[in-house]
Amino acid sequence: MDSIFNKDATTPTVPAAGNGEAKPAGDPVALSPAAQKFISCRWRKPAEDGNPDHCTHRDVLPMAGMTGFVPDSWCSDCAFFKAKRSPRKRQEEERTDWRW
């Protein structure tokens, strides 16, 4: 089963007729709310090494697998959803209470 996302997950893809490969869509395809939620989830693993995008959460992966994962079936009411966060650089605080 082909993923509906390409490797960078910014351009949706559509399956090509006949050969089963995915190609970038000419017109932007509106993603479902579940697919949008899946793209921003920390458990999402992008497509690589022939495996499509899938959820790596330990309770979802055994049931959905790596090749049969469908965001609309899992992500719309996911109890495991956790948004990705960009790490923030810590503010260096100047310490004045040094003890020698």
- 49 inside domain: yes
**In the prediction, which pLDDT does 87 show?**
75
79 inside domain: no
Please state the pTM of the whole predicted model: 0.52
pLDDT tens track for 2-40: 555 544 554 444 444 444 455 555 556 788 888 888 888
Q: Which domain holds residue 23?
A: 13-74
33 belongs to a structural domain? yes
Tally of structural domains, the chain: 1
In this structure, which amino acid lies at residue 56?
T
- State the average pLDDT for the chain: 74
Q: Is the residue at 68 inside a domain?
A: yes
Where residue 15 falls (left for φ over 0; alpha for ψ -120 to 50; beta otherwise) is: beta
CA distances from 4 to 1, 68, 87, 99 (A): 9, 12, 28, 59
Backbone dihedral angles phi then psi of residue 74, each to the nearest 5 degrees: -110, -40
pLDDT at 4: 52
More confident residue, 58 or 82: 58
- Kindly tell me if the per-residue pLDDT of 92 is higher than 50: yes
Q: Higher model confidence: residue 41 or residue 4?
A: 41
69 vs 1: CA distance, rounded Å? 9
Establish if 94 belongs to a structural domain: no
Domain contains 93: no
**Structure token digits, residue 22:** 């995915």
In a domain, 40, yes or no: yes
69 in any annotated domain: yes
- Report the candidate in 29, 33, 32 with the shortest Cα–Cα distance to residue 12: 29
